[in-house]
C-alpha cells in the first residue's frame, strides 16, 4: 500500500471486490517497477520494443481495428438531473448507469492483474493540481499514464492522508467489445467508469475524462476553467515572454501551434516560441487579478500522420526516445516507425497498423491509421517552456479560438470585448476529423472546441465564461479567432500554416499591447492585410486580403445556423450571447 488515505483504500477495496482480479499491483512510479512492466507487456505481445539505437526506450502498440478513436456516441455524462448534462451530452441517470455497468464489471478482472495508478494532473505541489486514481487491467494504460501524468507515490503525497478530493477512475479492457463500450462520467461522484476500449482518449482517464469533463464541472463550481487549449509562450527579442491559450478541436493543429518554429524573418530578430502544453489548460484568476494557466499533463498524446521534420520538427524530436507509438507502421528493415506524411520514402518491408504485412511502395491502403498517435514525454520537447513545472502556471495575454473552415472564417479576427469573445468561441464550427469515430469532414458546431468534453450543460458553461470575464475585468485576456484551413476552388489550403502561423500570432500579441492597427468589420477587428508580415513567403498581399475577406452572405447563413444551435440550449442560453447574435445580424445588414 502506498497511502494511508482511508478514502482511497476503501474505494480500491470496493473496486477489487467488484472486478475480482487475481492480483493487485500498486504503481509507485519507480523505474524498477516500470522496467518490469515493460518487459511483461512485451512478453504478452501488447507492445513491441523498437530499435534501441535509433529509438531508445520506444515501443509500438496496435489497438483492435474497432478501437482507434474516441467514441462520442458511447460517452455519457451521468448527472442526477438530465438538464445538468445538457443537450450536447448523452445522459443517463447515475443509478441506472451504475446498475447497467456493475454486472459488466463484476468479475471482469478474473485471471488478470489490477494496477492501481495514483497520478497528479498538474505539477506536484501546485495549488492548481488535482489527484486521480485509476484502476485498470491494462499495462499499456500504466505505461501511457507514466508519460502523460505525474504518476506514482508523489501523487498520494499531493493528495494527503485525509482528503477525499480525488477522481476515481475504473477501467477494464474487458473484451474490447464495441457493442458494450461505455465511457461514463459521474461528475457529482468524482467518478469515471470506462469499459471495452484500449484506445487513448477512452482509457487514459486523466486526459479528456478527468482533465476536461470532470474538471470543467469542478471548475464551474470552484471558479476556474478547464479548457481544450494549448499554451505557448512567445519570447520577443528583448527576452519578454507573453503567453497564449488556444482552443482548436481535435486534430485541428494544437500540437503543431504549441511547438512552432518561427520563420526566418522572426527567428533572425530573436523571436522564440516555448511550449507549455499542447492539449489541455486549467485556468484560474491569480492573486494579481490576471488569468493564469497550467498544463495538467506531463506528455503529448499527439497525432502522428503529417508530423515531419518540416511541419513540426519539435514534435518529431519529442518522439525520438521513451515514446509509445500507437497504430503506426512498423518498418521491419530497421525496426523503426513510419506514418503517412513522415517522409516520401515509405518502407517496403513493413507491418501496417492492423498488423498485416505492408509495402508502402505498392499498397493502395494507408499504413498508419489517420488517428495514429505518439505518447511522448514533455521533457523531450526541444522547445519546452522553462515554466512547464511552475506551480503558479503562466499569465495568459490572449485566448485564441479556431477550427477547420474551408470558407466562412477569415485567417484571423479579434473580438470587440470579452462578451463578444465568448460569443466568438460559442459559435465555433469545424470539420470533423479522425480523432473521433464517425464521419470526417462534416462541419459541426463545436463551441470553444469543448463539444465532446464539457461535463455539464453548455448553456451553463457559456454563463461561466461570461462570469469569469466579469471577475477578470480589465485584466481579461483579449480574445481572437483564427482559421488556418481556408481552401481555394481546387480544395488546397491557401495559408501556408505551421511555422508561418507565427505571422498571425505576432499581430495578435501586437494587438494585446496596443501596437497594431485594426479594421472594424461586421464580425470583429481584422488586421490590415499589410499588417500580416509576408516577408519570405511566396504569397502576396492580395492573398492575405482574400484570406481576410468576410463574405456577408455566408455569414448570414451561418447566423441562421447559430440561431438554431442556440435554440437547443433553451432558457439556459445567456441573454448576453443572444444579444451578440442579434448585433451580428444587424451589422451584417
User: Would you count residue 313 as binding ligand GTP (CB under 6 A)?
Assistant: no
Residue listed under C-alpha cell 495559408: 495
- Which residues of this chain interact with ligand SPV, rule CB under 6 A? 70, 200-201, 207-208, 250, 279, 301, 435
User: Would you count residue 311 as binding ligand GTP (CB under 6 A)?
Assistant: yes
CB of 279 to ligand GTP, least distance (A): 5
Among 219, 302, 360, 393, binds ligand GTP (CB under 6 A): 302
CB of 205 to ligand SPV, least distance (A): 11
454 in catalytic set:
no
Residue 295 contact, options ligand GTP, ligand SPV, Mn ion, none, Cβ 5-8 Å cut-off depending on partner type = none
Query: Which residue number, 304 or 479, has a Cβ lying nearer to ligand GTP?
Result: 304
Query: Which residue number, 27 or 244, has a Cβ lying nearer to ligand GTP?
Result: 244
Residue 255 contact, options ligand SPV, Mn ion, ligand GTP, none, Cβ 5-8 Å cut-off depending on partner type = ligand GTP
Size of the residue set binding ligand GTP (CB under 6 A): 22
Query: Which residue number, 40 or 493, has a Cβ lying nearer to ligand GTP?
Result: 493
User: Would you count residue 501 as binding ligand GTP (CB under 6 A)?
Assistant: yes
Backbone angles phi, psi at 437, to 5 degrees: -65, 145
Half-sphere exposure of residue 368, counting CA atoms within 13 Å on the CB side? 28
Residue 253 contact, options Mn ion, ligand SPV, ligand GTP, none, Cβ 5-8 Å cut-off depending on partner type = ligand GTP
Query: Which residue number, 173 or 503, has a Cβ lying nearer to ligand GTP?
Result: 503
CA distances from 12 to 8, 117, 195 (A): 6, 11, 17
Among 87, 286, 438, 497, binds ligand GTP (CB under 6 A): 497
User: Would you count residue 252 as binding ligand GTP (CB under 6 A)?
Assistant: yes
CB of 365 to Mn ion, least distance (A): 26
Set 184, 209, 252, 383: catalytic member: 252
Cell numbers of 268, please?
533572425
Query: Which residue number, 167 or 509, has a Cβ lying nearer to ligand SPV?
Result: 167
CB of 500 to ligand GTP, least distance (A): 8
- Can you point out the beta strands (E) in 159-303? 166-172, 182-186, 191-195, 225-227, 229-235, 241-247, 272-277, 281-285, 291-294, 299-303
- Report the distance separating Cα 294 and Cα 128, nearest Å: 7
Among 169, 299, 305, 402, binds ligand GTP (CB under 6 A): 305
CB of 216 to Mn ion, least distance (A): 14
User: Would you count residue 381 as binding ligand GTP (CB under 6 A)?
Assistant: no
CB of 489 to ligand GTP, least distance (A): 17
By CB under 6 A, the residues from 425 to 444 that bind ligand GTP are 435
Query: Which residue number, 41 or 433, has a Cβ lying nearer to ligand SPV?
Result: 433
In the chain the first and final C-alpha atoms are separated, in Å, by: 67
Among 3, 63, 89, 255, binds ligand GTP (CB under 6 A): 255
Closest CB to ligand GTP: residue number: 497
By CB under 6 A, the residues from 273 to 292 that bind ligand GTP are 278-279
Residues of 546-574 as b/e, b for ≥16 C-beta within 10 angstroms?
ebbebeeeebeebbeebeebbeebeebbb
User: Would you count residue 251 as binding ligand GTP (CB under 6 A)?
Assistant: yes
Going by C-alpha positions, the residue among 316, 286, 292, 320 that lies closest to residue 304 is: 316
Residue 353 contact, options Mn ion, ligand SPV, ligand GTP, none, Cβ 5-8 Å cut-off depending on partner type = none
User: Would you count residue 498 as binding ligand GTP (CB under 6 A)?
Assistant: yes
Helix (H, G, I), strand (E, B) or coil at 397: strand
- Which residues of this chain interact with Mn ion, rule CB under 5 A? 250, 279
- Report the distance separating Cα 317 and Cα 309, nearest Å: 9
CB of 70 to ligand SPV, least distance (A): 5
Number of other CB atoms surrounding residue 293 within 10 Å = 29
Query: Which residue number, 138 or 250, has a Cβ lying nearer to ligand GTP?
Result: 250
Are residues 257 and 272 in contact, defined by beta-carbon separation less than 8 angstroms? no
CA distances from 126 to 219, 295, 524 (A): 16, 11, 37
* Contact residues for 82 (Cβ-Cβ < 8 A; gap 6+): 91, 93
- Report the distance separating Cα 226 and Cα 215, nearest Å: 6
Q: Single out the segment in contact with ligand GTP by CB under 6 A; choices: 122-130, 249-257, 282-290, 415-423.
A: 249-257
Query: Which residue number, 207 or 404, has a Cβ lying nearer to ligand SPV?
Result: 207
Backbone angles phi, psi at 31, to 5 degrees: -65, -40
H helix count then E strand count, the chain:
17, 31
- Report the distance separating Cα 299 and Cα 323, nearest Å: 10
CB of 449 to ligand SPV, least distance (A): 8
By CB under 6 A, the residues from 453 to 492 that bind ligand GTP are 484-485
Are residues 400 and 415 in contact, defined by beta-carbon separation less than 8 angstroms? no
- Report the distance separating Cα 544 and Cα 539, nearest Å: 8
Residue listed under C-alpha cell 530497421: 334
- Report the distance separating Cα 30 and Cα 466, nearest Å: 44
Query: Which residue number, 391 or 438, has a Cβ lying nearer to Mn ion?
Result: 438
Q: Point out which residues pair with 150 in neighbouring strands.
A: 120
User: Would you count residue 256 as binding ligand GTP (CB under 6 A)?
Assistant: yes
Residue 380 contact, options ligand SPV, ligand GTP, Mn ion, none, Cβ 5-8 Å cut-off depending on partner type = none
Task: Output DSSP code: residue 65.
Answer: T
Going by C-alpha positions, the residue among 332, 374, 371, 333 that lies closest to residue 352 is: 332
CA distances from 172 to 178, 183, 196 (A): 13, 11, 6
Query: Which residue number, 413 or 484, has a Cβ lying nearer to ligand GTP?
Result: 484
Q: How far is CA 473 from the centre of its chain?
A: 28
- Report the distance separating Cα 36 and Cα 52, nearest Å: 17
Kindly tell me the sign of the dihedral angle through the C-alpha atoms of 345, 347, 348, 354: negative
Q: Single out the segment in contact with ligand GTP by CB under 6 A; choices: 208-216, 324-332, 385-393, 494-502.
A: 494-502
CB of 455 to Mn ion, least distance (A): 15
CB of 75 to ligand SPV, least distance (A): 10
Active-site residues, by number, are 252
Residues binding ligand GTP (CB under 6 A) = 248, 250-256, 278-279, 302-303, 305-306, 311, 435, 484-485, 493, 497-498, 501
Amino acid at each position: 500500500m502506498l497511502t494511508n488515505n482511508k478514502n482511497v483504500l476503501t474505494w480500491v477495496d470496493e473496486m477489487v471486490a467488484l472486478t475480482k482480479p487475481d492480483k493487485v499491483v500498486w504503481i509507485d512510479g519507480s523505474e524498477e517497477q516500470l522496467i518490469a512492466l515493460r518487459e511483461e507487456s512485451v512478453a504478452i505481445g501488447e507492445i513491441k520494443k523498437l530499435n534501441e539505437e535509433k529509438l531508445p526506450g520506444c515501443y509500438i502498440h496496435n489497438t483492435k481495428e474497432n478501437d482507434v478513436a474516441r467514441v462520442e456516441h458511447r460517452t455519457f455524462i451521468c448527472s442526477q438531473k438530465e438538464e445538468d448534462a445538457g443537450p450536447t451530452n448523452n445522459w443517463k441517470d447515475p443509478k441506472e448507469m451504475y446498475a447497467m455497468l456493475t454486472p459488466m464489471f463484476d468479475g471482469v478482472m478474473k485471471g488478470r492483474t489490477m494496477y492501481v495508478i495514483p497520478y497528479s494532473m498538474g505539477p506536484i505541489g501546485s495549488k492548481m493540481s488535482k489527484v486521480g486514481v485509476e484502476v485498470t487491467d491494462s499495462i499499456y494504460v500504466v505505461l501511457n499514464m507514466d508519460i502523460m501524468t505525474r504518476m506514482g507515490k508523489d501523487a498520494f503525497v499531493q493528495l494527503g492522508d485525509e482528503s477525499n478530493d480525488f477522481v476515481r477512475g475504473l477501467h477494464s479492457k474487458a473484451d474490447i467489445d464495441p457493442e458494450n463500450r461505455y465511457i461514463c462520467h459521474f461528475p457529482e461522484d468524482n467518478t469515471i467508469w470506462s469499459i471495452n476500449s484500449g484506445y487513448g482518449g477512452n482509457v487514459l482517464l486523466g486526459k479528456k475524462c478527468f482533465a476536461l469533463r470532470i474538471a470543467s464541472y469542478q471548475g464551474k463550481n470552484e471558479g476556474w476553467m478547464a479548457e481544450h487549449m494549448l499554451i505557448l509562450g512567445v519570447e520577443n527579442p528583448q527576452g519578454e515572454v507573453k503567453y497564449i491559450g488556444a482552443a482548436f478541436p481535435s486534430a485541428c493543429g494544437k500540437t503543431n501551434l504549441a511547438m512552432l518554429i518561427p520563420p526566418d524573418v522572426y527567428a533572425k530578430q530573436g523571436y522564440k516560441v516555448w511550449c507549455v502544453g499542447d492539449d489541455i489548460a486549467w485556468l484560474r484568476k491569480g492573486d494579481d487579478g490576471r488569468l493564469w494557466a497550467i498544463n495538467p499533463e506531463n506528455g503529448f498524446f499527439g497525432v502522428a500522420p503529417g508530423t515531419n521534420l518540416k511541419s513540426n520538427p519539435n514534435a518529431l524530436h519529442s518522439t525520438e526516445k521513451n515514446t509509445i507509438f500507437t497504430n503506426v507502421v512498423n518498418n521491419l528493415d530497421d525496426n523503426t516507425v513510419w506514418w503517412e506524411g513522415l517522409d516520401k520514402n515509405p518502407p517496403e518491408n513493413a507491418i501496417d497498423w492492423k498488423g498485416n504485412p505492408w509495402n508502402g511502395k505498392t499498397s493502395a491502403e494507408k499504413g498508419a491509421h489517420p488517428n495514429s498517435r505518439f505518447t511522448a514525454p514533455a521533457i523531450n520537447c526541444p522547445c519546452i517552456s522553462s515554466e512547464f513545472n511552475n506551480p503558479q502556471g503562466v499569465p495568459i495575454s490572449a485566448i485564441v479560438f479556431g477550427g477547420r473552415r474551408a470558407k466562412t472564417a477569415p485567417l484571423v479576427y479579434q473580438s470587440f470585448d470579452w462578451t463578444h469573445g465568448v460569443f466568438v468561441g460559442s459559435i465555433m464550427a469545424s470539420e470533423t476529423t479522425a480523432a473521433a469515430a464517425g464521419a470526417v469532414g462534416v462541419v459541426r458546431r463545436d463551441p470553444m472546441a469543448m463539444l465532446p468534453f464539457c461535463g455539464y450543460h453548455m448553456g451553463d458553461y457559456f454563463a461561466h465564461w461570461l462570469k469569469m470575464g466579469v471577475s477578470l475585468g480589465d485584466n481579461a485576456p483579449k480574445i481572437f479567432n483564427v482559421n488556418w484551413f481556408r481552401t481555394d476552388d481546387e480544395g488546397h489550403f491557401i495559408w501556408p500554416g505551421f511555422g508561418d502561423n507565427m505571422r498571425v500570432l505576432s499581430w495578435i500579441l501586437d494587438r494585446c499591447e496596443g501596437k497594431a492597427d485594426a479594421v472594424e468589420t461586421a464580425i470583429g477587428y481584422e488586421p490590415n492585410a499589410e499588417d500580416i508580415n509576408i516577408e519570405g513567403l511566396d504569397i502576396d498581399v492580395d492573398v492575405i486580403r482574400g484570406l481576410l475577406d468576410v463574405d456577408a452572405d455566408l455569414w448570414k447563413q451561418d447566423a441562421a445556423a447559430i440561431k438554431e444551435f442556440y435554440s437547443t440550449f433553451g432558457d439556459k442560453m445567456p441573454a448576453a450571447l443572444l444579444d451578440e447574435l442579434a448585433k451580428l445580424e444587424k451589422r451584417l445588414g
